[in-house]
Amino acid sequence: MVSFMSEPKKLFIKTYGCQMNVYDSERMAEALGSKGYIETTSADDADMILLNTCHIREKAAEKVYSELGRYKDLKAEKPDLKIGVAGCVAQAEGEEIIRRQPLVDLVVGPQSYHRLPAMEDAVRAGEKALDTDFPEDDKFDTLTKRAKVSRGPTAFLTVQEGCDKFCAFCVVPYTRGAEVSRPSTRILREAEELVASGVREITLLGQNVNAYHGHENGLAGLIWDLDKIDGLERIRFTTSHPNDMDEALIDAHASCEKLMPYLHLPVQSGSNSILKAMNRKHTAESYIKLIARIRKARPDLLLSGDFIVGFPGETEQDFADTMDLIREVHYGQAYSFKYSTRPGTPAAEKPQLPDEVMNERLQALQSLLREQQTETQNTMVGREVKVLFEKSGREDGQMIGKSEYLHAVYANAPQSVFGTVQSVRITESSTNSLAGTLI
């Protein structure tokens, strides 16, 4: 008797936005793996296409509809192809996505993707599937174990979701919901699974990660427990809120060797009046004092931040205050954006600044930030750093990895350094990377 094994179905996931979406895409692929799917890098040969979307930037929904339009001909050629929209745009738009784009078969919000296997059953039966609830059942309870596959040396690990801060410009509380922290026991188990599969560096993720309360000692307590895992060499976390940066976490930066000397701590503006309008609940002065405390604990810390230019009501003096804060703090890296309205947020109802004003201010701010980044990178030349090598570089015999300060570093090295931490002497600084030689 001859038995025939069915061909595996192919899943193509396109991920937009933050690191948390990268993590979510991995878990969605694992969930659909139970239905016989394997991932493919091409939409053309996929049996299911999932767009895992982000709603942070302006016109995010329209960009998703535009992307969906590109699959119209592919859907006509392959009637059995299933197309889904996941993530924050799915949460915000809901059934409107299916109404506007009938080729979409399923829409799933970021808190419901553990239900994808059942949704896949529904769409294979010819139904449309929609789930944008904030379900009582915890998706992480369903997705209990990571797939036992060999991985690269770095991984993201979501520990906290949602946000209770309600900044006036942000949609996260509406698309991701209230703050929820995963129990530390489950996080530690997942971290051990990741390390067993080859991971050497874990970045802890949360919309407001330092508000994590799934451990009796908060995020610092979780970090110290992760520190005990054999084989885990590096720990990072992002994104933090200044108001939740407690002394225990600052102390961890001072004394936990596995916690890397890099911190992303968004301030958004250097103007107290704008910070108040943003509902940030901190001041420029309190932020600067906090940075001083952190740097006293970890003098070599590289600081990263976020800035929004042109928030409604921002005056020339407000913008000047932001520039003054940047000069005082000095950032090794930073992300900056023009303010863009997000429907449903308080700031969207306020009079908007002229686009030319925002453009001019953004150019000036980014010029200052680039100057600081270049200066920071130049100070690395001649220094010895520890690099975790992650992949092959741009040239034969070249490998690329990340230093403890999250700088991309190129070095001539054998493939055998992949997944290991090596000492590298920095010899050159380029726009967005460093080059060095193995020591």
The burial of 425, by beta-carbon neighbours within 10 Å (0-12 exposed, 13-18 middle, 19 or more buried), is given as middle
What is the per-residue pLDDT for 60?
A: 73
> Token match 């949602």: residue?
162
CB atoms within 10 A of CB 189: 14
Per-residue pLDDT reduced to its tens digit, 254-303? 999 999 999 999 999 999 999 999 999 999 999 999 999 999 999 999 99
Distance CA 409, CA 433 (A): 6
**Residue intervals in the chain for CATH 3.30.750.200:** 261-379
Q: How far apart are CA 359 and CA 367, in angstroms?
A: 12
For the domain bounded by 384-438, which CATH number is listed? 2.40.50
- The C-alpha atoms of residue 125 and residue 152 are separated, in whole angstroms, by 37
CATH homologous superfamily for the domain 9-131 = Methylthiotransferase, N-terminal domain (3.40.50.12160)
User: Distance between CA 424 and CA 439 in Å, rounded?
Assistant: 5
Q: Could you read off the pLDDT of 220-261 as tens digits, one per residue?
A: 999 999 999 999 999 999 999 999 999 999 999 999 999 999
The count of other CB atoms within 10 Å of the CB of residue 54 is 20
CA separation for the pair 262, 301 (Å, rounded): 5
Residues of the chain with CATH 3.40.50.12160: 9-131
Burial (CB count <10 Å: 0-12, 13-18, 19+), residue 343: exposed
Cis peptide before 239 (omega within 30 of 0): yes
Instruction: Compute the distance between CA of residue 6 and CA of residue 16 in angstroms, rounded to an integer.
Output: 32
Which residue intervals of the chain bear CATH 3.30.750.210?
145-260
Residues in a beta bridge with 400: 391, 410
Q: How many CB atoms lie within 10 A of CB 352?
A: 16
CB 268 within 8 A of CB 275: yes
| Cα 97 to Cα 128: distance, rounded to the nearest angstrom | 11
Instruction: Please say whether the beta carbons of 212 and 243 come within 8 A.
Output: no
Q: Are 398 and 412 in contact (CB under 8 A)?
A: yes
Instruction: Write out the chain in H/E/C secondary structure.
Output: CCCCCCCCEEEEEEECCCHHHHHHHHHHHHHHHCCCEEECCCCCCCCEEEEEECCCCCCHHHHHHHHHHCCHHHHHHCCCCEEEEEEHHHHHHCHHHHHHCCCCCEEECCCCHHHHHHHHHHHHCCCCEEECCCCCCCHHHHCCCCCCCCCCCEEEEECEECCCCCCCCCCHHHHCCCCEECCHHHHHHHHHHHHHCCCCEEEEECCCHHHCCCCCCHHHHHHHHHCCCCCCCEEEEECCCHHHCCHHHHHHHHHCCCECCEEECCCECCCHHHHHHHCCCCCHHHHHHHHHHHHHHCCCCEEEEEEEECCCCCCHHHHHHHHHHHHHHCCCEEEEEECCCCCCCHHHHCCCCCHHHHHHHHHHHHHHHHHHHHHHHHCCCCCEEEEEEEEECCCCCEEEEEECCCCEEEEECCHHHCCCEEEEEEEEECCCCEEEEEC
CATH number (3.40.50.410, 3.30.750.210, 3.40.640.10, 3.10.20.30) of 145-260 reads 3.30.750.210
* Cβ 84 vs Cβ 105: under 8 Å: yes
Query: 333 and 431 in contact (C-beta within 8 Å)?
Result: no
| CATH classification for the domain delimited by 261-379, as one of 3.30.390.30, 3.30.750.200, 3.30.70.3450, 2.30.110.10 | 3.30.750.200
Give the per-residue pLDDT at 32.
92
Residues present in the chain in total: 439
List every span in the chain annotated with CATH 2.40.50. Answer: 384-438
pLDDT in tens, the chain (439 residues): 444 456 789 999 999 888 888 888 988 998 899 899 999 999 999 999 999 988 766 677 788 899 999 999 999 999 999 999 998 888 888 889 999 999 999 999 888 888 899 999 999 999 999 988 765 555 566 665 555 566 789 999 999 988 999 999 998 888 888 899 999 999 999 999 999 999 999 999 999 999 999 999 999 999 999 999 999 999 999 999 999 999 999 999 999 999 999 999 999 999 999 999 999 999 999 999 999 999 999 999 999 999 999 999 999 999 999 999 999 999 999 999 999 888 789 998 899 999 999 999 999 999 999 999 999 999 999 999 999 999 987 778 899 999 999 999 999 999 999 999 999 999 999 989 999 999 9
Q: pTM to 2 decimals?
A: 0.84
- Contact 376/332 with Cβ under 8 angstroms? yes
